[in-house]
Amino acid sequence: MYLFGSTIRATRFPLYYKDSAYHNLPRPYANFKPGSKARQYTDTKWFTTFVKDIESCGIYFLREMYHDKHKAKLTLFKIAQAKEIIPSNCRISGTFFNHMTFLGNLNDHSTSMIDIHKDEADVITALFHLGNTNYYSGSTKEDPGKLMYSTKFRHGRLQIGFFDNILHSRDKWEGY
């Protein structure tokens, strides 16, 4: 697994204390610091454009498509807050995203599956998977319930939503 982004989500340390609670101190991962190989990759024009397009899709989803207008408004507020508070070098390509997971190697013939999980503590998630994404009725990975829906892989498919409370997984992907 390769992680690009900040330590907002992937670690519990370092912490700072504010409003009667501990919070993660945002800082770039070692592999993502300015000048690093990963940062050079994510700073390319095509990648920056790609991530900004995903951000635009997320904002459109919240403003125009999501049925719970109260939650959409709260999420848009959190997005604006994130862009104001989180340093730009801890966000992906200047967007509100501060965490990205890149799994596998596109030069390999196949990738591994992603086990059933929730994206806990995420405000909003954008999935760009190579492979089928599966959604389950249960509330824990120990008791996932039934497979409710499987989104079949299609080139360019983007899935946006609140995956902090939805169990999901990805099937193994075969092919180049």
Question: Phi, psi (5° rounding) for residue 124?
Answer: -150, 150
Q: pLDDT (tens digit, 9 = 90+) per residue, 98-157?
A: 888 766 555 666 666 788 888 887 889 888 877 788 999 998 989 999 999 998 877 778
- Rounded-to-10 torsion of CA 49, 41, 155, 136: -100
Which pLDDT value is given to residue 1? Answer: 28
- The pTM (predicted TM-score) of the whole model is 0.77
* Residue bearing the bigger pLDDT, 42 or 1: 42
Which pLDDT value is given to residue 175? Answer: 66
Q: Is pLDDT at 37 greater than 50 in this prediction? A: yes
